[in-house]
Structure 1
Amino acid sequence: MKQSGFTLIEVLIALAIFGILIVLVLNLQTSVIGFTDAQNNAALRLQGLNEVGGYLGDRVKTAQAVRDGITVDGEVCQMSAAAPCLAVVLPTLNPDCGTDVPVNWTLHAFRYVARSAIPAAEKTPAPGLDTASAGAYGLKETQVPLTDPAVPTTCTAVAPPSNTASYMGTARSGYVTDNLTLVAGQNAFSYATTGGKNLVTLRLRTVSSSRNGLVYTPVSGSYELQVYARNVK
């Protein structure tokens, strides 16, 4: 009479097959998780890029003047420089006087600053971006008041100041972002009058550090945004 059951060899074969299946499932799970993380990180980088572009675009749209080749607190602000800088003159509006009564004027200068030169307290921790080879920059915004910074009690509009070559007296400064990079052969900022329109072109690209090395967004080239400076005369 035959005995039912599994032989030792059959049990070992079953365990081996089961082990292979477990490895395949774990590898698949790891791949899925890795892909999901990569997609989420890419979405976050793209969102950050859009936020920077939107912030700069809003400043350009309301600018009364776009300035190039000037000096801001002793530093040259030039669009085509190795560390480019965009300067715009913006009105300060009194909310009690409506949306079209400028009571003050401020110069906003947006300058690329090497990330390694940014104080640790003012940047997001990312050691992989602090080396020269990473080519990472922060975008520093410097605000210089051009008229009396005190908001007047009346709703009398203040005329925009005349353009000058040098601006002094920083009222506020801070970093819009700290993970931009420059694309060789491209200017991060450019300004031109085309077809009667004053267009500021923003070319932005971010860099981040991962366990597989540096990651760029976009992967190649830059994110280009053209903004109509509608208030520039």
Structure 2
Amino acid sequence: MTRRFAHADRGLTLVEVLVAMGLLGIVLLLVTDWQTQTLTLTARTNAQADQLAELNDLSGYLGDRIRSAAQVRLSGFTVNAASAVNNGKCDTTTPCVAVLSLEEDADPSTSPPTITRRWLRLVYRVEPRATWTGADKVPDTWADDPDNAVRVLREYRDSCTEVSGGTCSVTGGSPAITVAAYRAAFTSAAFSGMSPALVADYLTAVDQAGTAIVPFALTAAQPVGAANPVILTFQSVRNVRGTVAYTPGAGAYRLSVQARNVP
């Protein structure tokens, strides 16, 4: 008796294999594209969250310094001219705000508590990121390209801790001077020998529309005071997986700060 085999017993034809491979390729392409978009969206969301948190910290830190300052200046001086970028100038390339501030620390281990008074001269300066050479700098070729206008904010400082007799000990090994002389020097045309530190990274000098951002400004003309707040304006920018992302996305963040202790 002759035995007949079912049609299903034969293997797949070449055409069927090619069709199956083509369908599998399309599915894999769609999955890969979906994963890429998901990773990009996640990276952008995380970067914007990080930048928003940094902007909040920056505005809070700088705002507190200005609110408690005894004096505030926005122009008419240089900082570390011998070593700082742009010869230490405070101009449209490297905007500045200077603050004279008093800090008081109480030591509760004594009775009554010992109060230490320390005067601070602080200069906050926006500088091109490419000029920052700190050891903790995160390598970023895009951010260091001058055409992308990425900036950092640096703090330059010195301090004077009050001792007896109305004098104070200045940081950096400088000779002791009177507190009055240290405070008076805040109005000088040049600050020198200040120690720099990074405050914020990935700030942008221009917004999405290409308009220049002025980080430090006054509501009205000089002088600075409680009735003439300082306007802080910042926006950050990152290149995330080939896409430029601004934070905040709607435009630069602005904060009006009253220097309450300035006469």
For normalisation by structure 2, the TM-score amounts to: 0.70
What secondary structure, in the 3-state scheme, does the structure 1 residue paired with 2:139 have? coil
Asked if 1 retains the 8 angstrom alpha-carbon contact of 2:106 and 2:116, the reply is no
- Partner Cα separation in structure 2 for residue 14 and residue 186 of structure 1: 56
Ranges of 4+ aligned residues in structure 1 off by more than 6 Å = none
1:22-44 per-position Cα deviation (integer Å, ceiling 9, x unaligned): 33223222222222222112212
- Aligned with residue 28 of structure 2, among 22, 26, 29: 22
- Aligned with residue 161 of structure 1, among 176, 183, 189: 183
Determine the structure 2 residue equivalent to 1:138. Answer: 152
Shift of 1:188: 1.2
- Aligned with residue 36 of structure 1, among 34, 39, 42: 42
Larger radius of gyration: 2
- Partner Cα separation in structure 2 for residue 185 and residue 12 of structure 1: 57
- Partner Cα separation in structure 2 for residue 48 and residue 126 of structure 1: 18
- Partner Cα separation in structure 1 for residue 89 and residue 219 of structure 2: 17
Asked if 2 retains the 8 angstrom alpha-carbon contact of 1:144 and 1:167, the reply is no
Determine the structure 1 residue equivalent to 2:205. Answer: 182
- Partner Cα separation in structure 1 for residue 23 and residue 38 of structure 2: 23
Cα RMSD of the aligned pairs, angstroms, is 3.4
Shift of 1:137: 1.9
Determine the structure 2 residue equivalent to 1:89. Answer: 100
Determine the structure 1 residue equivalent to 2:235. Answer: 205
- Number of residue pairs matched by the alignment: 225
Aligned letter for 1:3?
A
Gaps of 5+ in 1: 152-157
Determine the structure 2 residue equivalent to 1:55. Answer: 61
- Partner Cα separation in structure 2 for residue 116 and residue 196 of structure 1: 36
- Partner Cα separation in structure 1 for residue 119 and residue 125 of structure 2: 19
Structure 1 109/26 Cα, relative in aligned 2: closer, same or farther at 3 Å? same
- Partner Cα separation in structure 1 for residue 259 and residue 89 of structure 2: 19
Shift of 1:143: 1.0
For normalisation by structure 1, the TM-score amounts to: 0.77
